[in-house]
Structure 1
């Protein structure tokens, strides 16, 4: 017998504390990925750990008719803060998708990369804002607590261009799948080193946020450079099996520690009524 994902316990709320500005009030619906950056379809949401193990196929996701949504931020942060930057992500995705299509239609090309021009501040502000929002409504029920990891990210999203200069690094790589991954906070251990990670992945980019100079990331990832207006994506198949990092196969002494309700996968539903 199938059962519904535990995600259903983490979506129902009306009023709470905004996960970006911290103000209490009516919460609005944030689309993650942002509208305009993907083709919006019927989707199901599940916690990522529910996709693993022998009983994974018996769990039914929480359905949505128009994309993956999270009611965790106020309307001002949603409409003015994220809304004012989401266009940068949508524009980048359209340009990248076109160049990626051309790349795979021309297999004789000697180059493995495609590049586009972006506004790095606006792009990163939108992506980090959606990382902060894509989580459980449980976090909205209590006043925000001080956090050395999250406070600079919130300040950056709210308009301080330099808030994360000395606190965080960002890495990105080609993400070739139609499913969407969001992870507000994951602790990853590799070769004796552990660190916190935050992630947002949807075609064609995986976007990873780490503490400054402490990050763990795939070897084919590129560092996001705030001083550059170029976004360069490596499309080679090298290390492609790590595209789902940090949820790829663990090897050796690697370990991953997470709160299940902070890690969500959304995937399109085809030919189903919901």
Structure 2
């Protein structure tokens, strides 16, 4: 019975211990709640966190209510408030707000949207914000262990912690326009292919309006080219460098991409490292 209860708890949790190893800098000390994605991206309402694929009979679990947005207690105060909150998050939030404002204006004018649209942004701060919160998400089991040698996460931490670093050549960050409010995190997951001789695309997936991100590690071959995704490749040593973000507005992937592959593919996950969050809907008062 004890093991069964432990499985239920480990399957989905966001609270984490009060003290542990920060999911970003790995220092040991008090941990704080990190909003995933940050508050500036609209993550402020009471949310229901659940498993991406729902419950199952072996590990039923149950959805969690997360007040004030979806968050995980997994990072230290410095990484939360100074590194992400002060240095990087505003670049992501500004871009999200600019895109949302664009669609509001387009909706009011009833103009036909172009196939692509450009948005000014700071790619190095933007990407560090995305990666920092991705490291914090679903990382509750990580904060109780000091040494977890995971090459992908080690490369992402090194990039976030050093403002002059460029992203490792072994990491590719793909993105697409995601016009949905469901927020999804899938860590250490992989897409396999029937008849692919063991070929797979391994990495992390992070989706929230208006972006889907697929952070891929050490990809061999050209499997990902099939999906026609844009790549964030503006990584330079200059933290304040500016660029223009290309957002494709047509021929979008399905809402459940990539976790629901086509008939010749499969999606492999670690059960407790996949979650989704949606704003809690207020109950309707009977008349």
TM-score, structure 1 as length reference: 0.86
Query: What's 1:216 paired with?
Result: 224
**1:175 paired to 2:212:** no
Instruction: Choose which of 202, 226, 234 in structure 2 pairs with 1:226.
Output: 234
Number of equivalences: 265
Partner Cα separation in structure 1 for residue 166 and residue 135 of structure 2 = 15
Higher mean alpha-carbon deviation, 75-84 vs 117-126, is at: 75-84
Partner Cα separation in structure 1 for residue 83 and residue 168 of structure 2 = 20
Partner Cα separation in structure 2 for residue 92 and residue 10 of structure 1 = 27
Cα distance change of structure 1 residues 117 and 9 upon mapping to structure 2, 3 Å threshold? closer
Query: What's 2:127 paired with?
Result: 124
Q: How many Å apart are 1:262 and its aligned residue?
A: 1.0
**8 A Cα contact 2:32 2:77, kept in partner:** yes
Query: What's 2:274 paired with?
Result: 263
Query: What's 1:24 paired with?
Result: 28
Partner Cα separation in structure 1 for residue 264 and residue 131 of structure 2 = 29
Partner Cα separation in structure 2 for residue 144 and residue 220 of structure 1 = 37
Q: How many Å apart are 1:5 and its aligned residue?
A: 8.3
Partner Cα separation in structure 2 for residue 272 and residue 54 of structure 1 = 28
> Gaps (5+ residues) in structure 1?
none
Query: What's 1:64 paired with?
Result: 66
Query: What's 2:156 paired with?
Result: 153
Instruction: Choose which of 263, 273, 281 in structure 2 pairs with 1:252.
Output: 263
Partner Cα separation in structure 2 for residue 141 and residue 54 of structure 1 = 28
**SS of residue in 2 equivalent to 1:270:** coil
Higher mean alpha-carbon deviation, 142-151 vs 24-33, is at: 142-151
1:209-258 per-position Cα deviation (integer Å, ceiling 9, x unaligned): 1124547376242111216711111111x2432x432212x323311111
Rg larger in structure: 2
Q: How many Å apart are 1:76 and its aligned residue?
A: 0.9
**1:38 paired to 2:42:** yes
Query: What's 1:76 paired with?
Result: 78
Cα distance change of structure 1 residues 189 and 222 upon mapping to structure 2, 3 Å threshold? same
Q: How many Å apart are 1:97 and its aligned residue?
A: 0.8
Cα distance change of structure 1 residues 110 and 188 upon mapping to structure 2, 3 Å threshold? closer
Partner Cα separation in structure 2 for residue 222 and residue 104 of structure 1 = 25
**1:203 paired to 2:209:** yes
**8 A Cα contact 1:183 1:264, kept in partner:** yes
**8 A Cα contact 2:12 2:272, kept in partner:** no
1:74-117 per-position Cα deviation (integer Å, ceiling 9, x unaligned): 11111111112000111000101111233445555362222211
Cα distance change of structure 1 residues 165 and 235 upon mapping to structure 2, 3 Å threshold? same
> Gaps (5+ residues) in structure 2?
1-7, 236-241
Partner Cα separation in structure 2 for residue 198 and residue 108 of structure 1 = 36
Partner Cα separation in structure 2 for residue 217 and residue 104 of structure 1 = 32
Q: How many Å apart are 1:208 and its aligned residue?
A: 1.5
TM-score, structure 2 as length reference: 0.83
